Structure 1
């Protein structure tokens, strides 16, 4: 089958990880795969993308004088969809994040119906934005209607978790009776196993006895500040000599042209400098796969701070690397983490996170048990092979 993936910005976030894994999976299954995107930078991407056939369509700006991000994203991906219709041969279109592009394919299907559309919904976009002014409310009301209407145009709608499925049905009333396929993102365990950590990477990794890692994009909604606050609270829960052996590493996706990334990174670094010793906290922007895996393998625990996260691939990556995960007890982590076996699911407070961190420092047996259970759970539930087989069946359906 000839499969085209249509994605707005092929960076290094969770949505991008899903798209790249799906493209690689179908390519290995013998399908002819092409990725069409509005933005791709080889210096800010997942390594596997370098082996994919990628086409950039940059016919429209990201913003209009710094505003209308959503509208511009809709227009940009619709233009990419027009390019696909007139320049690519395809049997299946796999679109995610921006459903407006499905409008283009719906119109195109009036003249050529020999293809199917799959839309992968990571989370309703209308729930990810604020409406501070009357003008913004009016603007978003139009965007929101387009999102719901166009999502329903897909031949198949997939979601990343049961949590997201319930949110989609509650949010998009017209889709309450529509079948939603839950396809959990997977982990390419062979790729993780193949990563070797060299001496250049080793220099970036903390060699403290107890290293806690936060791995998230530098966005406000990821609540990375909670990891710093929890590390501060940990000081009151451990003897001084033990706390001195602890270290916090804050790593995550950072785009130098993203204003929020720049601003939030600066705020986090300033906060850490004001409350922690410099030697106990390190920041790493856009870590390579080698650095990320080295961080996970060496961590005492990963601090996963987002609330109501749609799925969250980081806990799966962490568990496979034998690192316990401390996460907020909402959203996707409820489906990925086994509480008290592969990590902890707690309320979104610094004190609750710090209590679990202290347990993992002081209780070696508990740490070793979780360290062993994590990889077992990932192999059982989130293997790349099972993910590939589900996608292969999906694109072959009539």
Structure 2
């Protein structure tokens, strides 16, 4: 049985790339097809993989500006010759991968991290943040890409969603059913800690939709210590917003992130994510999570047992949640046990069971 893995792009490390690592470990002989790869921004294990790219790899500045070529993605992925494979395992958050062409007897199973949010749920936010010329071009191209995204979803035999939130979105946008298998979390690396120092913690890309500004303003108002690790376009703005109790450390290696994760009193997660791996990593360390109550955290955080939610993305709502958190007590060992449900081993076992089941039906 020959298997191929297909992914949008490999240009930096994130939750989707961690899924690819686990799929590679499960199917080490399977080549990985993707639009473009930039090994400089990936973990060393990717250099050991058989990665095959589309023609977009050869276009100018594609390693950093790959999103500029988004209108070409359907053409690029349809140009891949996958006729020799019995199983196509795709992983996607974008447009193009679902449309790969294969032989009529093969099975295409898609691990969908989300239908592309820039094309659907967050389209107007995406458009409003664009430059003047882009605002003229985006509506035309996005109309075409939305139609292609829906049509190409019919080429997938089976969908796996990474959360209940994404499963609902797949049903609404593609009118397709899906099973939920949560992404793999390295619960072996993020180990239980009973330390608890007087600071809250965030690790995140510093981009606007992550809403790190809410956490900064809440901790400014409450005079609480907050440590933030991460880099991004919002760094300078957030640094100006930060009061004397807020520390921004920029980019840090995993060992430093784990150290702060294990010593904090709680992890703050103010954004809206399809899944959100960092809250689970914090819970693997035995740390409760204070999260905006929407999206993937509804699958991962158990209210008043492993964390609490705030219901509105406002400073006042987060302030109230922090004060509520400080009036409660949490059991580190129970939080850790809850996080183990999302381990890499559980992910691999569920994927293998599902793939074997669907292959047997074919």
TM-score between both structures, scaled by the size of structure 2: 0.81
Name 1:117's counterpart in structure 2.
108
What is the match of residue 241 of structure 2? Answer: 271
Closer, same or farther: CA 34–370 of 1 in aligned 2, 3 Å: farther
Q: CA deviation at 1:346?
A: 0.9
- Find the aligned partners of 2:282 and 2:149 in 1 and give their Cα distance: 33
Cα distance change, pair 250–46 in 1 and its aligned pair in 2 (3 A): farther
1:92 matched to 2:53? The reply is no
Q: Do structure 1's residue 59 and structure 2's residue 58 form an aligned pair?
A: yes
What does the per-residue CA deviation read over 1:105-164, in whole Å, with 9 as the maximum and x for residues that have no partner? 1xxx3xx33432222222222223324556532321111111111122111112111111
Report the counterpart of residue 33 of structure 2 in structure 1. Answer: 36
Say which SS state the counterpart of residue 152 (structure 1) adopts: helix
Matched, 1:371 2:332: yes
**Structure 1 residue 191: Cα displacement:** 4.3
Gaps of 5+ in 1: 196-206, 236-242, 255-260
For residues 321-363 of structure 1, give each alpha carbon's deviation from its aligned partner in whole angstroms, at most 9, with x where no partner exists: 1111110011111111001110111122223323443455x55
CA contact (8 A) 1:215 1:251 kept: yes
- Three-state SS of the structure 1 residue aligned to 2:31 is strand
Equivalent residue, structure 2, for 1:239: none
Deviation at 1:251, TM superposition (A): 1.9
**In structure 2, the residue corresponding to 1:9 is in which secondary structure?**
coil
User: How far, CA to CA, are the matches of 1:390 and 1:78 in structure 2?
Assistant: 32
SS at match of 1:374: helix
Deviation of 1:304 (Å): 0.5
Rounded Cα–Cα distance in structure 1 between residues aligned with 2:34 and 2:257: 25
1:394 lines up with 2:354 in the alignment: yes
Change (3 A) 1:95 1:282: closer
Q: Is the 8 A contact 1:62 1:69 kept in 2?
A: no
1:15 and 2:16 matched: yes
Residues 318 and 84 of structure 1, relative CA distance in 2, 3 Å threshold: farther
Query: SS of 1:117's equivalent?
Result: strand
Specify the alignment match of 1:168 in structure 2.
170
Contact 2:86 2:106 in 1 (8 A): yes
The Cα shift of 1:281 comes to 0.8
Q: CA deviation at 1:384?
A: 2.2
The answer to whether residue 138 in structure 2 is matched with residue 136 in structure 1 is yes
Determine whether 1:251 maps to 2:229: yes
Number of the residue aligned with 2:282: 318
1:304 aligned to 2:269?
yes
1:96 to partner: Cα distance: 1.4
Structure 2 residue 155 is the aligned partner of structure 1 residue 156? no
CA–CA separation in structure 2 for the residues paired with 1:113 and 1:302:
48
Aligned 8 A contact 2:186 2:344 in 1? yes
Asked if residue 212 in structure 1 is aligned to residue 213 in structure 2, the reply is no
For the residues of structure 2 that align with 1:218 and 1:2, how far apart are their CA atoms?
Answer: 40
